[in-house]
Structure 1
Amino acid sequence: MVRFMVSLLVFLPGVVCKVTIVKCNIRDPLPILHKYYQSGDLSIGGIISQVHRFSNSIPFDKYPSYELVDDHVNFSPGWTYLASMELLSTQGGVIPNYNCGFQSHPVAAIGGPDICLHMSTILSIYKIPQLTYGSAPVVNKEDQAVFFQPMFPNGDHQHSGILQVLLHFRWTWIGVLSVNDDNGERFVHDVLPTFSHHGICFDFIERFPTVSFYIDFSNMMDESLKIYKVVMASTATVMVLYGEIETMMILKTFLQFSEVEDIPRKTKIWMMTAQMDFTSSSIDRYWNIGFLHGALSFAVHTKEVLGFWEFLQTRNPSSGEQDGFIKFFWEQAFICLFPKSEIHPQSEKTCTGEEKLEALPASVFEMSMTAHSYSIYNAAYVVAHALQSMQLHKSKQGWKEATAAGGRQNLQNQELWQINHFLRRVSFNNSAGEKIFFDENGELVAGFDIINWVMFPNQSFLRVKVGGIDPWAPPDNVFSIHEDSITWPSIFNQAQPLSLCNDNCYEGFSKKKKEREPFCCYDCLACPEGKISSQKDMDDCSQCLEDHYPNHRQDTCIPKGITFLSYEEPLGIVLASFALLFSFITALVIGIFIKHQETPIVKANNRDLTYALLVFLLLSFLCVFLFIGRPDTLMCLLRQPAFGIIFSVAVSCVLAKTVIVVLAFMATKPGSRKRKWVGKRTASSIVLSCSVTQTMICIVWLATSSPFPDVDMHSMTDEIILECNEGSVTMFYCVLGFMGFLAIVSFSVAFLARKLPDSFNEAKFIIFSMLVFCSVWLTFVPTYLSTKGKYMVAVEIFSILASSAGLLGCIFPPKCYIIVVKPELNNRQHLMKGKY
């Protein structure tokens, strides 16, 4: 039916424009019956698209009217030419190239995008401007293009808006249906590649069946069925439809296949371009158009025209005698008949003319002005303002001011084709309060609304504005969408629909492309150890910063904790407690030996070496505290050299005691020259030389590559280790190696002296102590290298405590037992008799 029911009387100073709208009727080719005429000083013609019907191909053995019996047809070129010629002829008759009476040619014509090219063939000859309310057609002739003025914004803004919607909802897997014409071809070849560059993939790209007047209906249905099968087999949820006015009718047609074919209809989200519109027809009340529920479409930005609703409420068949549409529309809309009706009887009901338009479902008639109707409304005012501008321009050039009647006559007698110059320069505010003007390229400066379709059981619907594209807004506001205002199909339970080739790769996973599939299709792989993905569908997992580590789900990075061997933790407390315990025992032994220093057992085997050994064992226990606590510069500089020198002195004391015992027994022969080596000088020399050697090693270490506080972020996954970097690992193992050398020499000498017959002989005890010492430090090396963090420090502390305790425990308990428990045995006689 007629997409708008509006009588346009355009009043400007000195000008009253009439709007003439015509529609073809094929049963009575001449004259055209369905038209609207409003008298005025100047006329604006209009050839407006309505509903469409198809017929089978025309047989040439019969008169065409026998077969083409439908009252509504698609505007074919022939009928468009006829309507165009009537606009140029006297009202009520068609005499080509003649104008009888006082009626002038229309100053401009308004047409739909599907018919304007054919309309232009006739009207461009007379230099009549043609305003189209849809997308600009592809005009091949320059002499015709100059007369086109689209009432439609730059289509690139709409294409950008479609892409923005797809990206906003993360719809990366879509199907595309485009109209089969030049505009559709440009959309597929020029626009869709930009979608791919932004990560959008296409499950299919198909063309709507070509719509023409003479078409094989059965062939069109076959093509539609093929498209329907492709759409329903698609795994994509979102279908982008790039079409024209008639495309909505094709969509409604082929979606009825679900009722006649054994093909289940899947719920799809239809995204339609602004060129498409819902074309009302009487058959729509019987067809299920619920598929539009939840659809999104673009529309040229509109505002509510004040008074339009009230105007529609006053419209009835008796309100306009020159309206050749309204009675015909009334009968089909309300399924009734007026007396002497021109159409075939479809109802026994008689039209009263008092029926209310607002009672009709929106699928039959909408009470709000649609985007296409809004464009037609603005087009009429663009022409009127251009006429006014032209009249003012002529006045400034010296035209004589006239009376109102004379002014009108002068305007009629002017060469009105000059209005083309003024059309693109108009700028005004329409009655809705919106500014209408064109840019330097002649394109309408306007944006697009994003519409959400809400369907109701009674075949009515609402178009809800949920966003828009405003190319002239600040960058952050060019695209807007209000998700909370969108009504999705019920199958999605009001959750945002997904349109993906496969499920998302969730956090902790990354995408891996599938072979021989579009790039939107991929598998999901878990992130490797040490990496995370914090968002869905990440192309690759990322490494955490050095001071962070992945959580167990590998979807976020957690700050690492700082760790070192401290006095607050159980391990530090245990080790410090043992160090204090052994230090106390060593101090106790020293006290016992000092108290009984004049007894034979204390004097035996060099009392000074015994004191030195006990003191350095005490220091070795105490040096453990250099390894516990937060590492700092002084601690790192002291702890390894101190440990190395102290242990070297202790082991050298043991070595000296063993050497002195061996030399003492070798010097018992009369006249032996070795007697002079038995004494304090030899013992002191051994201890001093060993100590100085180790000290020199440590000095070289400190001078060349000294230890320093360091941070280890890599050894432990979830901890930052505060440690002392040894500086030179080689020097560290040189210190340990020299200690090991002293221990081996001591063990060897003690082993040789193990059977010497003397109660003073400590060789057996030294053998065991060196066995413990060597075992501990040989085990230390692999254990130390296989541990990390504070546990490396704990291993070294344990080795210090164990080896020191081994020396203390293997050498001194027997002597302390005699001194404290068996003092009667602590005399020279018993020592000489070897009765320990």
Structure 2
Amino acid sequence: MVSAGWVLLILLFPDAVGVPVRAKCTLSGYHHHGYYKDGDHIIGGFIPLTKPPSRANHNFHTAPELSERLHSLEFKSYPHMLALIHAVEEVNKNPRLLPNVSLGFHIYNAIFEDETALAGLWGLLSETGQTVPNYRCGGRGGSKIVAVIEGPTADHASRIATALGPYRYPQFSYGHLDPESRQKVQFPSLYGMVPSESSLLASIARLIRHFDWRWVGLITSDDGRGKRTVETLRKEINKAGGCVAFTWLLTEYERYGPKQIRLLDDVQRSSANVTVLHGTRMYVEAFGMVLSWPRVHLKGLVWILTSQDEFPSETKFSSLKAFDRALVLVGQKRPIPGFEPFLQRIKPRNYQGDMYIKAFWQQVHKCLWRYTSWKPRCTGEENITTNKVREHKLLSPTWGYGIYNAVYAIAHALHALVSERPLGSTKDSQAWQLLSFLNKAHFSNPAGDDIFFDRDGNVVASYEIRNWIFSPEGSLGVVPVGSIQPRAPLGQGLVINENRIRWNRRFEQRPQSVCSQSCPPGFRKKHRQGEAACCFDCIPCRAGEIANQTNMERCLQCPDDQYPNEGRDKCIPKAVTFLTYQDPLGVTLASLALSFSLLTISVLGLFVKHRNTPIVKANNRDLSYILLVSLLTCGLCSLIFIGRPGKLTCLLRQTVFGVAFAVAISSVLAKTITVVLAFKATQVGHGLRRWLRPGVSNSIVFWGTLVQVILCSIWLGSSPPFPEYNTQSEVGKIVIQCNEGSVGIFYGVLGYLGLLAMISFTVAFLARKLPDAFNEAKHITFSMVTFCCVWVSFIPTYLSAQGKKAIAIEIFSILASSMGILACIFTPKVYIILLRPDRNSKQFLKKK
């Protein structure tokens, strides 16, 4: 938020909507108002060189006492100023970059109490020591100020961006920017030299995805940034297939208390082995102090720390010991080229305008400018050796890398502007003209990094993955283990050496962090009611389904021509099958059919041979021949059911069977009626004797068969049987079978045969007490009982069977019913003909 002082100033000067107006102002004291070096183009710098004092008088207006400077000097920010000075000097010495054009700088101490900060900002824009808002007082040509570098906090950036926005000065922030400050429409000239927080959170999600951690805890700061972090990181983790096990928001100022106790209890009870701690360096250190309390004994965890601030290495930090073996993501920084030689050349006499260099000198060389007995006296000629640079925690060669890149971005944009107008002068150029070149800037800095900005104005950079390892003495060792390019395509941009990572001692190998173990192939996930999506049970796939990957949400149905293997993790092609003559069942049924046919032929031959004997003639010889031929046809038609079904065989199977049995049952009915009429019309001239003519019995057979022929003709004409592939009847097999077409007509054919059989049974049953010698009624009764029992049993059995079994049941029913008729009707006659020829005579028949 913009403070009241800033808003008031803007309200007082409503004309501040463009380039400051040039006016005549005195230039006295210009070199006193900040640390200044002249050049063709000036880079403004707002760096907090001191801590906020009790009174705001440290903005280079008057020089404070050395002791006060030493006490208030912000040592971690002073190298930032040195990095800016070094970068400007390096650019000016480069003959290929901005030839014949020099860069200068004007650095202000950005304590950022409103009054002092406003004074410095408007003084910079006015180009004079006087604060004249909306007026440019310095320079004879165009404005020398081309860009402003500031930092390190988001508040600093937003305040300066609000004031500089109307003037379109390019602004470079080397600190972390609030996501709200990254609205390009509101702040079109603001550029971030630190990767955006969204890219950091995306990098965390990539790291979690790489290790397949699906159950992660999240702890962050209790402020607007922390809440946005929770929302963003939850989406990123969910997108990667994971879930957030618990979320806690804590301020960095909270100490060990009830809220922390509840948090630690949640962490201890949770099955998550990975916890993300996101916040500033101070926040991480404060939470580490909570974990360091003697009463806190957490189980071994994998901590992911995401602070972009530098943590000095090889230093004792008792508050960070709780994060031993943690993985830390930091913005990748390279050593600034030539920074060490630059530091070694620094002498206080060469920087007379820098009132804080002596305080810095005392800190680095551990000396005092005044005489004391406990420390050596500073001479100003001491050398900052390589060892001192490496040992001093604030002189890291990577410190100020963002400022270094900002200077080079400004230089390359100016170089592009110079190249566009080679014959003209750039000294009268306006700062806003650099924006189009900055948006398109893409260059390699002297360290070898590619520098360019994304559409939101953030520098695109990678993150370094570090492994913290504390020694028994408490010294922090930092081991680089990889890097992440957050904007690389998914599956790329992550380079990590897992062999270098040392995990928490609780884990012998790469740790897992899941709410539920992965469902193996062959199983699918069933989510638990009321729990996170990562908490589920594994249930096996149903019949006909497979799961060929782990953690599948649903099983896949195998195609009709395939079936699941035993593990239900892949589909196997089904074997094509049908009832063949090579099949044991087919061989058995074919043998029975041939045996029955041979037996029927034998009986028929026996009857033909003894056709003139009384036993053959007495029972209507012609009907016996018709019945035997029809039974032979029934036996042989069962062979059509064996073999690969085709169009012709499917058409013939049921129709031949239905017509053949219709002839057989009609013949039996005709024989039964003939027997009844023979005994009822014994007197000469009886009215029933005319029905005993041979043509009557043949008519019964004809009309009984004709009805069945008509039914079969309708069947073949309307919905004939056809071959089909049955993929469901047998597991792992495709059965080629005949589809009956019209099921209604099929059962109508069977029903008609049943009707004929019931009529024959009824007539035969009523005639069962007639004289035995001429009476076949008893035998016909038994044959029809057998026939009906077989086919009544057939229907439910056929309906419950599938594939080859259904075909086998129908063949068996055909043979069984045919055998029953043959056995019941013809066995007594064959017995008399072959074994009791004495009974096969007229005298014996008359006697009976």
Q: TM-score, normalised by structure 1?
A: 0.73
1:29 aligns with 2:68: yes
**The one of 257, 272, 276 aligned to 2:306:** 272
1:799 aligns with 2:813: yes
Query: How far did residue 750 of structure 1 move?
Result: 2.5
Q: State the SS of the aligned residue for 1:283.
A: coil
**The one of 349, 357, 375 aligned to 1:340:** 375
Write the deviation string for residues 94-151 of structure 1: whole angstroms up to 9, x where unpaired.
x9989xxxxx999854532368459959997999976332332466999996875321
Residue of structure 2 equivalent to 1:244: 280
Residue of structure 2 equivalent to 1:209: 251
After TM superposition, the structure 1 stretch with the greater mean CA deviation from structure 2, 702-711 or 227-236, is 227-236
Write the deviation string for residues 270-327 of structure 1: whole angstroms up to 9, x where unpaired.
1526x3442458432x566473535252535x6x66977xx86x899x7755587587
Residue of structure 1 equivalent to 2:834: 820
Q: State the SS of the aligned residue for 2:582.
A: coil
Contact kept? 1:229, 1:263, Cα under 8 Å: no
Seen in structure 2, the aligned counterparts of structure 1 residues 681 and 427 have a Cα distance that, compared at 3 Å, is closer
Query: How far did residue 369 of structure 1 move?
Result: 6.0
Residue of structure 1 equivalent to 2:151: 111
1:460 aligns with 2:482: no
Residue of structure 1 equivalent to 2:458: 443
How many residues in Structure 1 have an aligned counterpart in Structure 2? 741
- Name the Cα RMSD after superposition: 5.1
Query: How far did residue 645 of structure 1 move?
Result: 1.0
Residue of structure 2 equivalent to 1:725: 739
Distance of 1:168 and 1:579 partners within structure 2: 69
Query: How far did residue 806 of structure 1 move?
Result: 0.8
Contact kept? 1:129, 1:149, Cα under 8 Å: yes
AA in 1 matched with 2:448:
G
Write the deviation string for residues 728-765 of structure 1: whole angstroms up to 9, x where unpaired.
22222222222122222222332333333353433332
Seen in structure 2, the aligned counterparts of structure 1 residues 220 and 753 have a Cα distance that, compared at 3 Å, is closer
Alignment of 1:288-303 (within 5 A): 289=321, 291=323, 293=325, 295=327, 297=329, 299-300=331-332
Seen in structure 2, the aligned counterparts of structure 1 residues 771 and 389 have a Cα distance that, compared at 3 Å, is closer
Write the deviation string for residues 566-624 of structure 1: whole angstroms up to 9, x where unpaired.
32322222111111111111122222333333444333312222222111111110000
AA in 2 matched with 1:151:
M
AA in 1 matched with 2:69:
L
Q: State the SS of the aligned residue for 2:406.
A: helix
AA in 2 matched with 1:793:
I
Residue of structure 1 equivalent to 2:578: 564
Contact kept? 2:466, 2:478, Cα under 8 Å: no
Distance of 1:795 and 1:85 partners within structure 2: 104
Seen in structure 2, the aligned counterparts of structure 1 residues 777 and 578 have a Cα distance that, compared at 3 Å, is same
Write the deviation string for residues 489-534 of structure 1: whole angstroms up to 9, x where unpaired.
2558576544344444555555555454444444555555655554
Contact kept? 1:163, 1:195, Cα under 8 Å: yes
Residue of structure 2 equivalent to 1:62: none
Query: How far did residue 698 of structure 1 move?
Result: 1.6
1:768 aligns with 2:782: yes
Distance of 2:375 and 2:114 partners within structure 1: 26
Seen in structure 2, the aligned counterparts of structure 1 residues 486 and 195 have a Cα distance that, compared at 3 Å, is same
Distance of 2:779 and 2:186 partners within structure 1: 119
Residue of structure 1 equivalent to 2:678: 664
Residue of structure 2 equivalent to 1:174: 216
Seen in structure 2, the aligned counterparts of structure 1 residues 763 and 327 have a Cα distance that, compared at 3 Å, is farther
Query: How far did residue 542 of structure 1 move?
Result: 5.0
AA in 2 matched with 1:436:
I
AA in 2 matched with 1:299:
G
AA in 2 matched with 1:608:
D
Query: How far did residue 202 of structure 1 move?
Result: 3.2
AA in 2 matched with 1:585:
L
Contact kept? 2:481, 2:501, Cα under 8 Å: no
Distance of 2:395 and 2:618 partners within structure 1: 122
Write the deviation string for residues 330-356 of structure 1: whole angstroms up to 9, x where unpaired.
879xxxx9971699xxxxxxx999895
AA in 2 matched with 1:30:
R
Distance of 1:551 and 1:142 partners within structure 2: 57
Contact kept? 1:17, 1:42, Cα under 8 Å: yes
**The one of 752, 768, 774 aligned to 1:754:** 768
Query: How far did residue 629 of structure 1 move?
Result: 2.0
Q: TM-score, normalised by structure 2?
A: 0.72
Contact kept? 2:544, 2:557, Cα under 8 Å: yes
Distance of 1:29 and 1:758 partners within structure 2: 143
Alignment of 1:409-808 (within 5 A): 427-438=442-453, 442-444=457-459, 446-449=460-463, 451-453=465-467, 455=469, 457=471, 459-470=476-487, 480=494, 487=501, 489-490=503-504, 497-524=511-538, 531-550=545-564, 555-714=569-728, 719-808=733-822
Write the deviation string for residues 665-718 of structure 1: whole angstroms up to 9, x where unpaired.
333324434333324222212211211222122222222322222344455565
Query: How far did residue 800 of structure 1 move?
Result: 0.6
Query: How far did residue 639 of structure 1 move?
Result: 1.2
Seen in structure 2, the aligned counterparts of structure 1 residues 811 and 391 have a Cα distance that, compared at 3 Å, is closer
Query: How far did residue 781 of structure 1 move?
Result: 1.9
Contact kept? 1:248, 1:277, Cα under 8 Å: no
Q: State the SS of the aligned residue for 2:759.
A: helix
Seen in structure 2, the aligned counterparts of structure 1 residues 423 and 555 have a Cα distance that, compared at 3 Å, is closer
Distance of 1:467 and 1:253 partners within structure 2: 29
Q: State the SS of the aligned residue for 1:757.
A: coil
Contact kept? 1:579, 1:624, Cα under 8 Å: yes
Distance of 2:773 and 2:510 partners within structure 1: 95
**The one of 381, 388, 402 aligned to 2:408:** 381
Q: State the SS of the aligned residue for 2:480.
A: strand
Seen in structure 2, the aligned counterparts of structure 1 residues 516 and 791 have a Cα distance that, compared at 3 Å, is closer
Distance of 2:304 and 2:775 partners within structure 1: 103
Distance of 1:389 and 1:742 partners within structure 2: 107
Contact kept? 1:24, 1:83, Cα under 8 Å: no
Query: How far did residue 244 of structure 1 move?
Result: 3.4
After TM superposition, the structure 1 stretch with the greater mean CA deviation from structure 2, 630-639 or 652-661, is 652-661
Contact kept? 1:110, 1:379, Cα under 8 Å: no
Contact kept? 2:467, 2:502, Cα under 8 Å: no
Q: State the SS of the aligned residue for 1:635.
A: helix
Contact kept? 1:296, 1:452, Cα under 8 Å: yes
Write the deviation string for residues 29-54 of structure 1: whole angstroms up to 9, x where unpaired.
23666556679686657899xxxxxx
Distance of 1:807 and 1:452 partners within structure 2: 93
Alignment of 1:181-260 (within 5 A): 181-188=223-230, 192=234, 201-210=243-252, 219=255, 228=264, 230-257=266-293, 260=294
Distance of 2:806 and 2:680 partners within structure 1: 45
Q: % of aligned pairs identical?
A: 34
